Amino acid sequence: MNVKYIVIGSFIFCLFFSFFSQAQTWEVYDGEYKLQSRLIYDEVDLLSETVRIGKKDSVLSLLSADLKPAVSLIGNEVYQYLEPWILVKGPNGIGAFHEYGQQVLPLEYDEIQTYFNLLLARKGTNYWIFERGSGKTTSLGKLDDAKLTKTGMLITKIGNEYFIPLSKSGQKSFQLLEDSDGDFLLTKEESGFGLINREGDYVMDPVVDELKHNKGNFYFGFDENQFLLIEGGDIKANVRYNSFHKITLENGVMLEYIHGKLRRVMEEDGILLDAVGIEEVILIDEDVYNVRFRDGNLGLLSKKGWLVKPNKPLDKILLGSDGLFPAIENGKKGFVNSDGEWMIDPQFEEVTLFSESLASFKQNGKWGVIRANGELIEDAVWDEVKPYSKGFSIVQSNNHYYLLNRNGETINQDFFDQILRASDGYFIVEKGEKSGILDPQGKELIPLEFETIQRTQSNLNIVRNQGKAGLISDSGEILLPVAFENILIDSGSGKILTKNLYEPVVVVEVETNGKKNKKGMK
C-alpha cells in the first residue's frame, strides 16, 4: 500500500500545518460538565472573576464573558494587574488598559504607578500623568522623582524642591513632602513643619519646629519648649496632648519623663498609663508592651489596659489566647493568667499559643501537647506539632506526618510524606510521590493515585498524572477525564476551561490495487 499526501500547493500546506500543529484549543464546559464551545488560544489567564485574557500567536486579547476576543491589548505579556488597570508589556515598553478595554497609555513606558483614577508613567526621567476623569494624559516634563500617594496625591521632586502639582498648591515648592499610612502629607517650609490634606490645603500651618509621623493620622511634634501629640483633621489638625516634660518616641514606644524619671506610657493622643516606679517599657507587639517596675514585677499592657497585671518578676510576657499568656521565668516557659499567676508552671523550652484549648510545648528538643488546665495529653515525642484546628493537629516525626486528635491519638496508623490543610477543613496528603484527599474527619476521600491535587472549591479537585489534568469530585466521580494539558475554573461565569493540544486532520490518498481512497489521518 502506497500512502501519499494530497497537496494543493506545497507552500499552502506547509503554512497550514505549521500554524495548526502548534496551536492550542480550549474547550469550554458548563456547570454540568457539558461541552459548550471550542476556542483557539495559546494561553488563557483569569485575572479576576470578570477579567479574562487570551493569548494567540503572542497577541493578547481581553475576552468577553463568553470568552470571545473583545479588545486587542496589543502587547505580548500581562505585566501586572492592579484593579482596575491592566499593565501590558510589549517590545517597546509598558502600557495600560482599563479592565473594560479602553487603552489609556501606549506601550512605551519604563514604569507605571497606579491609583484608582490616576496613572503615573515614566520613560527615563520624563513623567506623564493620566487622569481618568478627563481622559487626558499630561506631560510633567523631566523630574528627579515622582510618586502617587496612598490617597491619590501626586508628589514630584526637582532638585531639593517638592511639589504637589494636581492640588490647589500646584505651583508652590516645599523643602519636604512626606507620605505615610495616614491621610495627610507632612510638609516643611522655611517657617517650620505642617500638614496638608488631599486637596492641598494646610490643616496645620507650617510653624512647628519638629514633626514626625507616628501612626495613622497621628503625629509627634516639638514646638519651642513643649512636646505635642497631634491628630490630623480634614479641615484643621488638633493638638490632643501637650506637655513641657520630655516625651520620647523611639521604636514604636512613646514615653513621658517627669523630672528625669520615667512616669507615663503614651498612646497617639494622650496618656495610656500613668504610674510611679516604671523602670522599663518594651514593645512586644503592635500597641502591646511589657512594663517593668522598680520592684522587678512585669506586666503586659495594651490600649485596653492591663492584659496581665504586674504581680511577678518575670523575664517576659507574650500575647496569649484563651485567657492564658506565655511567660518566661529564668529561661523556662509556662503560662500565666490575667492576674499574673502561674497556671502552668515554667518548665518548657518553648510553648505555642492555645488553640481550641490545646497548646504544644517543647521539652528536650521534642514537642508534646497540653490542655489549658495543664493536663498532659501527648508526650514530647514529635519533631513538630502544628496548631489545632477543627479538632486536629498535623504532627511530624522523622519526616513522617500524622493527624493527631484532641485526645492525642493518631488518626492515620500509616504515615504520610506530607499533610496539607485546605481552607475548607479537608486535607491533601502525599506519599511516595502520589497525592490524595482526606475528609475533615481524617477519613480517606480520594485515594493516593495522583501526582498532584489542587482543591479549587468545595467538591471540585483538579488532579494530574503524567502531565495531564482532570477534574474529579470529592466522591471520586470523574467529572472530566485526566486528559488535558490544563484546567481552569472560571468562578465568575461558572464555566470550566480545558486546554488541549490541537491535532489537525490531514487528508491522505491511499492507493490499493490501482484504486484510490481518501481517508482521514491524525
- Residues 330-361: tens digit of each pLDDT: 999 999 999 999 999 999 999 999 999 999 99
How many H-runs (helices) and E-runs (strands) does the chain carry?
Answer: 1, 57
Q: What are the structural domain ranges in the chain?
A: 169-243
| Radius of gyration of the chain from its Cα atoms, rounded to whole angstroms | 33
Region 376-391 average pLDDT: 96
Let me know: does 192 contact 175? Beta carbons within 8 Å.
Answer: no
β-strand partners of 421: 427
* Reported confidence tier of residue 193, pLDDT bands at 50, 70, 90: very high
HEC profile of 224-256: CCEEEEEECCCCCCEEEEEECCEEEEECCEEEE
Region 237-253 average pLDDT: 95
Cell of 128: 506623564
β-strand partners of 419: 429
Torsion of CA 76, 80, 81, 86, to 10 degrees: -50
β-strand partners of 257: 246, 262
Cα 359 from Cα 350, distance rounded (Å): 11
Cα 403 from Cα 368, distance rounded (Å): 14
Cα 363 from Cα 108, distance rounded (Å): 61
Let me know: does 289 contact 265? Beta carbons within 8 Å.
Answer: yes
* Reported confidence tier of residue 251, pLDDT bands at 50, 70, 90: confident
Q: Percentage of the chain with pLDDT > 70?
A: 91
* Reported confidence tier of residue 5, pLDDT bands at 50, 70, 90: very low
Strands 111-115 and 246-250: unpaired
**What is this structure's pTM?**
0.84
* Average pLDDT score over the chain: 91
* Reported confidence tier of residue 503, pLDDT bands at 50, 70, 90: low
Q: Is the pLDDT of residue 504 over 70?
A: no
Cα 519 from Cα 509, distance rounded (Å): 7
User: At residue 380, what is the residue type?
Assistant: A
Let me know: does 244 contact 226? Beta carbons within 8 Å.
Answer: yes
SS3 for 137?
strand
Cα 273 from Cα 96, distance rounded (Å): 52
List C-alpha distances in Å: 170 to 118, 136, 178, 437: 17, 18, 16, 60
Q: Is the pLDDT of residue 18 over 50?
A: no
Region 126-141 average pLDDT: 96
pLDDT of residue 58: 84
Cell of 74: 496589543
Cα 208 from Cα 215, distance rounded (Å): 18
Number of Cβ within a 10 Å radius of residue 489: 17
Let me know: does 369 contact 360? Beta carbons within 8 Å.
Answer: yes
Considering only CA atoms, which of 167, 234, 181 is closest in space to residue 204? 234
List C-alpha distances in Å: 362 to 233, 284, 321, 325: 50, 22, 18, 16
- Residues 155-181: tens digit of each pLDDT: 999 999 999 999 988 889 999 999 999
pLDDT of residue 418: 97
Q: Is the pLDDT of residue 314 over 50?
A: yes
Long-range residue pairs from 404-412, CB within 8 A, at least 24 positions apart, any chain:
404/369, 404/378, 405/442, 406/356, 406/358, 406/377, 407/377, 408/369, 408/377, 408/378, 411/442, 412/438, 412/442
Q: Is the pLDDT of residue 104 over 90?
A: yes
List C-alpha distances in Å: 226 to 1, 208, 230, 231: 104, 10, 12, 16
pLDDT of residue 501: 65
Query: How large is the greatest C-alpha to C-alpha distance in the chain, in angstroms?
Result: 116
* Reported confidence tier of residue 423, pLDDT bands at 50, 70, 90: confident
How far is the first Cα of the chain from the last one, in angstroms, to the nearest whole number? 18
Q: Is the pLDDT of residue 520 over 50?
A: no
Phi, psi of 244 (to 5 degrees): -90, -5
231 conformational bin, left if phi > 0, alpha if psi -120 to 50, beta if neither: beta
pLDDT of residue 511: 52
Q: Tell me which of 291 and 515 has the higher pLDDT.
A: 291
- Residues 51-63: tens digit of each pLDDT: 999 999 888 999 9
Q: Percentage of the chain with pLDDT > 90?
A: 84
Contacts of 323 (CB under 8 A, 6+ apart): 337, 338
* Reported confidence tier of residue 8, pLDDT bands at 50, 70, 90: very low
β-strand partners of 380: none
Region 23-48 average pLDDT: 90
- Residues 471-502: tens digit of each pLDDT: 999 888 999 999 999 999 998 888 999 998 64
pLDDT of residue 10: 34
* Reported confidence tier of residue 19, pLDDT bands at 50, 70, 90: very low
pLDDT of residue 14: 33
Question: Residue 283: which H helix or E strand, with range?
Answer: strand 278-285
Cα 423 from Cα 446, distance rounded (Å): 17
- Residues 258-311: tens digit of each pLDDT: 999 999 999 999 999 999 999 999 999 999 999 999 999 999 999 999 999 999
Is 14 exposed, middle or buried, given 0-12, 13-18 or 19+ CB atoms closer than 10 A?
exposed
